[in-house]
Chains A and B, each alone.
Chain A
Amino acid sequence: MKVKIPTVSALVLAMTLPLAAEAHRGWLLPAATVLSGEEPWVTVDGAISNDIFHTDHAAMRLDGLKVVGPDGEEVEIQNGHTGKYRSTFDLQLTQQGTYRVFSASGGLNARWVTDEGERRFWPGRGETPAPGDFEKKVPKDAKELTVTQSSRRIETFITAGVPTDEVLAPTNQGLELVPVTHPNDLFAEEEATFRLLIDGEAAVGAKVTVLAGGMRYRNSQDAIEVETDDEGAFSVTWPDAGMYWLSASYRDDKATAPATARQGSYVATFEVLPQ
């Protein structure tokens, strides 16, 4: 496996992204992803942490969270609560089929160097840009100006009864995962295939990292690292049953003006069941 040392510019970029705070990892963790019975309930946690699925850093905010049901309609979360280290909410699966739970956002960010040689970023840390801010706050003639179109998506999938596909259709915005293998039909020792799209087109050469949960109880990350092929596809063979965190990142220069670069980060949680 190739190990690439991240370049300085990549690190700087990461610092400017709203949720990519250092090595902290965002995730949504459903208590179960495969359910039976009439209108079953499921509870979900959302957090940003270092160790996967250990709530040790910050709660994920619920205001950007959406749930779409098998019929494509939005579903209300229930009993939402945000604590110190995690948010939690319940879902009642009143329809049979697959639900998508996600938090997605996108927008422009910029970095440049002032005449005095100081590095500047926009939006600043914790800043939520208002419309027109880009024009006002980013000097277009600044030195080393890089404007990046960024997208971020954190999601998971939950199925009552038969897995369905309606909810898996891409929005063609940002970095997205299109399942070839259904995300609620994953079993240990089996291979699953997915595709990554950037703005609706194959995300070729995207870096994918897969980590099993329970990190606190092992001495290494044991990451599975893969890269997407010419179709944007990649495959993972799940070594064991359990909850997995999948993270992908993609970057190219095929951006639309005023952006000069395009960047996407994608995270999903998958449950793998034993044979």
Chain B
Amino acid sequence: MEKPNMKKPAVKKLWLMVSMALGAAFAQADTLEISIEIPRIDVAEYHRPYVAIWLQQQSNVTNLAVWYDVGMKEGKGQEWLKDMRQWWRRSGRALEFPIDGVTAATRAPGIHTLTFDSADKPLSELPPGDYQLVVEAAREVGGREMVSIPFSWPLSEAQTLEASGETELGRVGLQLKP
């Protein structure tokens, strides 16, 4: 899209300003990198867990991800959403499913990483304050477990926080990247 009559030095200067502005914006961006370990469980009948990941400030819930059997016919997979009891109580029961950008299929055992940036929703709309990152997992013919990690928003310093589940969740990591 280069126009032959454009003055090159001006273009360069403009780009320099834009990239400086962008650089500044990026420097201010706060990023949450969340890693969730779904443990491999050696049982005869294994089903991948339903997992809800949210930020909580008192009674305010910001959903980050909900993994459930989204693919089942006629929304049948929603029948077990209530088994993530605390999430269901605090948020899930008031929602319509599926939720764009939040609900997704269940995940296999292993470590799953999610990254959220303050430039995008939902973090761009997150009011400052003290939060809990909460991860709740419930497994068909298995157990239920909830793990939470406190942090403050917006971020002040780079930090790696972690908590660990004992049965349905392995290590949950929260990397704060101001």
Contact = CB atoms under 8 A, between A and B. Distances in A.
Given A161-B93, A162-B93, A36 B78 contact: yes
A127 B154 CA distance: 72
Nearest to A161: B93
Interface string A7-44: 00000000000000000000000000011111010000
Given A36-B80, A37-B75, A161-B94, A274 B85 contact: yes
B39 to A, nearest CB: 21
A161 to B, nearest CB: 5
Contact of A37 (B78, B85, B89, B94): B78
A37 B96 CA distance: 10
Interface residues of A, number: 14
Contacts of A38: 74-75, 78
B79 interface: yes
B28 interface: no
B3 interface: no
Interface class of chain A by DSSP: loop
A273 interface: yes
Nearest to A35: B82
A36 B92 contact: yes
Contacts of B75: 37-38
Nearest to B79: A37
11 contacts: A34-B82, A34-B93, A35-B79, A36-B78, A36-B79, A36-B81, A36-B82, A36-B88, A37-B78, A38-B74, A187-B89
Interface of B: 74-76, 78-82, 85-86, 88-89, 92-94
Interface of A: 34-38, 40, 161-163, 185, 187, 273-275
